[in-house]
Amino acid sequence: MALMITDECINCGACEPECPNNAIYEGGADWELGGKTYGEGDPAPSGATGFWSADFFYIVPDKCTECETFHDEPQCAAVCPVDCCVPDPNHEETKEQLQEKVKYLDELGR
Ligand code: SF4
Ligand code: SF4
Protein backbone atom coordinates (compact mmCIF):
# COMPACT_ATOMS: atom_id res chain seq x y z
CA MET A 1 0.00 0.00 0.00
CA ALA A 2 1.37 3.38 -0.92
CA LEU A 3 1.29 6.07 1.71
CA MET A 4 -0.43 9.43 1.36
CA ILE A 5 -0.05 12.77 3.10
CA THR A 6 -3.15 14.32 4.62
CA ASP A 7 -4.09 18.00 4.82
CA GLU A 8 -2.71 18.06 8.37
CA CYS A 9 0.76 18.45 6.81
CA ILE A 10 2.56 21.52 8.15
CA ASN A 11 4.98 21.65 5.20
CA CYS A 12 8.05 21.15 7.40
CA GLY A 13 9.86 19.22 4.65
CA ALA A 14 11.31 16.58 7.00
CA CYS A 15 9.96 13.64 5.02
CA GLU A 16 11.17 14.50 1.53
CA PRO A 17 14.90 13.72 1.94
CA GLU A 18 14.13 10.49 3.82
CA CYS A 19 12.32 8.79 0.92
CA PRO A 20 14.51 6.17 -0.82
CA ASN A 21 12.34 6.38 -3.94
CA ASN A 22 12.13 10.17 -4.31
CA ALA A 23 8.37 9.73 -4.09
CA ILE A 24 7.70 12.86 -2.02
CA TYR A 25 7.36 16.32 -3.52
CA GLU A 26 6.63 19.77 -2.18
CA GLY A 27 3.16 21.16 -2.81
CA GLY A 28 2.89 22.73 -6.24
CA ALA A 29 6.07 21.08 -7.54
CA ASP A 30 6.29 18.89 -10.64
CA TRP A 31 7.33 15.27 -10.13
CA GLU A 32 9.52 12.91 -12.12
CA LEU A 33 9.58 9.25 -13.05
CA GLY A 34 11.88 7.52 -15.48
CA GLY A 35 13.26 10.80 -16.80
CA LYS A 36 9.83 12.26 -17.55
CA THR A 37 8.35 15.26 -15.76
CA TYR A 38 4.71 15.33 -14.70
CA GLY A 39 2.61 18.12 -13.23
CA GLU A 40 -0.82 19.07 -12.01
CA GLY A 41 -3.55 16.98 -13.60
CA ASP A 42 -1.18 14.45 -15.18
CA PRO A 43 -2.08 10.85 -14.35
CA ALA A 44 0.77 8.58 -13.24
CA PRO A 45 1.75 5.74 -15.62
CA SER A 46 -0.37 3.36 -13.52
CA GLY A 47 -3.39 5.57 -14.12
CA ALA A 48 -3.38 6.95 -10.57
CA THR A 49 -4.80 10.44 -10.20
CA GLY A 50 -5.75 12.78 -7.39
CA PHE A 51 -2.51 12.60 -5.43
CA TRP A 52 -0.95 15.89 -6.58
CA SER A 53 -1.34 18.81 -4.16
CA ALA A 54 -0.79 22.51 -4.57
CA ASP A 55 -0.81 23.14 -0.84
CA PHE A 56 0.92 20.27 0.95
CA PHE A 57 3.74 17.83 0.38
CA TYR A 58 2.42 14.86 -1.60
CA ILE A 59 3.42 11.28 -2.42
CA VAL A 60 3.39 9.82 -5.94
CA PRO A 61 1.77 6.39 -5.54
CA ASP A 62 3.68 4.89 -8.48
CA LYS A 63 6.93 5.62 -6.60
CA CYS A 64 6.03 4.71 -3.01
CA THR A 65 6.98 1.17 -1.96
CA GLU A 66 6.28 1.62 1.77
CA CYS A 67 10.10 1.68 1.88
CA GLU A 68 10.09 -2.03 0.95
CA THR A 69 13.66 -3.45 0.64
CA PHE A 70 15.17 -0.22 2.00
CA HIS A 71 13.82 0.11 5.54
CA ASP A 72 11.73 -1.81 8.07
CA GLU A 73 9.09 0.90 8.26
CA PRO A 74 7.91 3.84 6.15
CA GLN A 75 10.46 6.57 6.76
CA CYS A 76 8.14 9.46 6.00
CA ALA A 77 5.75 8.29 8.70
CA ALA A 78 8.66 7.76 11.09
CA VAL A 79 9.90 11.35 10.84
CA CYS A 80 6.63 13.25 10.36
CA PRO A 81 6.04 15.43 13.46
CA VAL A 82 2.26 15.48 13.00
CA ASP A 83 1.69 11.86 11.91
CA CYS A 84 0.04 12.78 8.63
CA CYS A 85 1.77 10.15 6.43
CA VAL A 86 -0.81 7.38 6.41
CA PRO A 87 -1.71 4.30 4.32
CA ASP A 88 -3.56 5.30 1.15
CA PRO A 89 -6.76 3.19 0.91
CA ASN A 90 -6.92 3.89 -2.83
CA HIS A 91 -3.58 2.21 -3.44
CA GLU A 92 -3.55 -1.08 -1.56
CA GLU A 93 -0.73 -3.44 -2.53
CA THR A 94 0.67 -6.73 -1.27
CA LYS A 95 4.29 -7.13 -0.21
CA GLU A 96 4.90 -8.98 -3.51
CA GLN A 97 3.43 -6.10 -5.50
CA LEU A 98 5.61 -3.64 -3.59
CA GLN A 99 8.69 -5.75 -4.37
CA GLU A 100 7.70 -5.72 -8.05
CA LYS A 101 7.43 -1.93 -7.83
CA VAL A 102 10.97 -1.73 -6.46
CA LYS A 103 12.19 -3.65 -9.53
CA TYR A 104 10.12 -1.43 -11.83
CA LEU A 105 11.71 1.67 -10.29
CA ASP A 106 15.18 0.08 -10.42
CA GLU A 107 14.76 -0.34 -14.19
CA LEU A 108 12.91 2.88 -14.95
CA GLY A 109 14.77 5.26 -12.67
CA ARG A 110 13.44 7.17 -9.71
FE1 SF4 B 1 8.88 7.22 0.39
FE2 SF4 B 1 8.87 5.19 2.10
FE3 SF4 B 1 7.25 7.26 2.52
FE4 SF4 B 1 6.75 5.63 0.50
S5 SF4 B 1 6.71 5.08 2.70
S6 SF4 B 1 6.75 7.85 0.41
S7 SF4 B 1 8.80 5.01 -0.14
S8 SF4 B 1 9.49 7.30 2.58
FE1 SF4 C 1 4.25 17.34 5.94
FE2 SF4 C 1 4.89 15.47 7.74
FE3 SF4 C 1 6.32 15.72 5.49
FE4 SF4 C 1 6.49 17.58 7.39
S5 SF4 C 1 7.14 15.42 7.57
S6 SF4 C 1 6.29 17.92 5.16
S7 SF4 C 1 4.39 17.60 8.16
S8 SF4 C 1 4.15 15.11 5.63
pLDDT tens string 4-39: 999 999 999 999 999 999 999 999 999 999 999 999
CB of 3 within 6 A of ligand 1: the answer is: yes
Ligand closest to Cα of 84 equals 2
The set of residues, in sequence order, having a beta carbon less than 8 Å from that of 38 and lying 6+ positions away, is 30, 31, 32, 44
pLDDT of residue 103: 97
pLDDT tens-digit series, residues 39-58: 999 999 999 999 999 999 99
Ligand 1 atom with least separation from CA of 66: 5
Distance 103 CA to ligand 2 centre (A): 27
CB of 58 within 6 A of ligand 2: the answer is: no
Instruction: Please report the sign of the dihedral spanned by the C-alpha atoms of residue 14, residue 5, residue 81, residue 10.
Output: positive
The set of residues, in sequence order, having a beta carbon less than 8 Å from that of 29 and lying 6+ positions away, is none
pTM: 0.96
pLDDT of residue 105: 97
Q: Name the closest-CA residue to atom 1, ligand 1.
A: 19
Bridge partners, residue 38, by sequence: 31
CA distance 76 to 3: 9
Provide, rounded to the nearest whole percent, the portion of the chain with pLDDT above 70. Answer: 100
